[in-house]
Amino acid sequence: MTNSENPYIVRKDNPAHKRLLKRKAKEVRFQSYGIISIAIASLFLLTLLTTIVTEGTGAFFKTEIKLSILFDEEIIAPNGDTSIEALAKINYVKIVRNSLKELFPDVKKRKELRRLYGLMSNASELKVRAMVEADPSIIGTRSEIWLPASSDIDMLMKGNISRDIEEKLRRVKDNQIAWVDKIALEGNLRCKFNTEFFTNGDSREPEQAGILGAMIGSFFVILVCIGVAMPLGVGTAIYLQEFAPKNKFTDIIEVNINNLAAVPSIVYGLLGLAVFLNFFGMPRSSAMVGGFALSLLVLPTIVITTRNALAAVPPSIRDAAIGLGASPMQTVMHHVVPLAMPGIMTGVILSIARAIGETAPLLMIGMVAFVADVPSSISDPSTALPVQIYLWFDSPEIGFKEKTSAAIMVLLAFLIVANAVAVYLRNKFERKW
């Protein structure tokens, strides 16, 4: 039999062969489209992360100036009273300004003096005050102390304020640049790791602002959210999946739960405003109300993921337990739920990770207010990390720009850790049936 007579050999001029080539070409094009889409998405993600890291890294460092501080007894304790009450009433700004005037004695005019005083942050006064209150014996002595520079000088040293642009177009003037250069040339200027970014609350001054209050607020919010959403969501899922009768009423409940998972988050904020604040009268701007609002947001997701985890447990587990005399409750709680626990925990962690990054519900219940104090309980006025990012982004000062990016980096770190924990739990404890 010749090749032309063999029915299993497809000739190139055969229509079936041409269709096969077209199908293979379509598959290659489809794979190429997928690779190109992934590459474009990865490029956008890489650009976003690079921009955030580039702009936010500077917030983890601060500029300090070393001054020779004279703890003048005539200013601090003119009457010899060194009690805490008396020391708290002293104007320590004058002590810092006197040190600056000693450093630049030629500066006499009022306008130039204001610019000279603008080299230092208002936090300098607080640091000097804290030193005096901690050790009154230093009154009358002189010490060289590193004090924080102002936000404008900090931005200048980090390159965020250009020296090349016209003087009237920048906040730092030429004489201020000359003074800073002289200080740096004498070795009295340094860049140090900014621990205050993690230990301070919010502030109107960029160089003093930190994320501690927002982090504690987020912790309280998530604590309340977990305490409310996890038991309710898991309990609801167990009942609907294992015990609830299959009728129209439960069908309506399931449909509504699936629909609630797709409701925009701001709607839950409006619901929290109407129910928790206006009806129940809970404290406004508190982590308690924020936790309740976010628990409504993640509750449908927890119910759905928990039901899927329970449904993945083979029916043979239930049949075996019941066959050995276990009650339905014992079967579910002693056998089904433990086997579904990895999937349940994964769903809960991913839901909480979503809640950490939510802003709209918290804005609606008043957590957008400026709160400088670090909250000590769930009922105290507080803010959260996403809201803090929103507030800093809306601030006109250039110093808050890098603080915004740095806070985003911290928030992303939390989300990455939460997702990594979820992946670890799923891979380590997941059962293959």
What are the chain's domains?
60-201 (no CATH), 212-429 (1.10.3720.10)
State the chain's maximal CA–CA distance in angstroms.
Answer: 123
Q: What is the DSSP letter of 168?
A: G
What backbone torsions phi and psi does residue 69 show, to the nearest 5 degrees? -95, 125
Give the Cα separation of 365 and 279 in Å (integer). 13
Question: How long a stretch of residues is the chain?
Answer: 433
Helices (H) and strands (E) in the chain, counts: 19, 3
Cα 322 from chain centre: 48
Give the Cα separation of 123 and 127 in Å (integer). 6
Report pLDDT for 36: 95
* Cβ partners under 8 Å of residue 175, min gap 6: 112, 115
Give the Cα separation of 383 and 343 in Å (integer). 31
* Cβ partners under 8 Å of residue 73, min gap 6: 139, 140
Report pLDDT for 280: 87
* Cβ partners under 8 Å of residue 131, min gap 6: 138, 145
Q: Tens-digit pLDDT profile for the chain (433 aa)?
A: 555 555 555 555 677 777 888 888 889 899 999 999 999 999 999 999 999 999 999 999 999 999 999 998 888 888 888 888 888 888 899 999 999 999 999 998 999 999 999 999 999 999 999 999 889 889 889 999 999 999 999 999 998 888 988 988 888 999 999 999 999 999 999 999 999 999 998 998 999 999 999 999 999 999 999 999 999 999 999 999 999 888 888 889 888 998 988 888 889 989 888 988 888 888 888 999 999 999 999 999 999 999 999 999 999 999 999 998 889 999 999 999 999 998 898 889 889 888 888 888 888 888 888 888 889 999 898 999 999 999 998 888 888 999 999 999 999 998 888 888 888 877 877 777 6
Report pLDDT for 13: 65
Give the Cα separation of 397 and 386 in Å (integer). 19
Question: Quick count: other Cβ atoms within 10 Å of Cβ 153?
Answer: 26
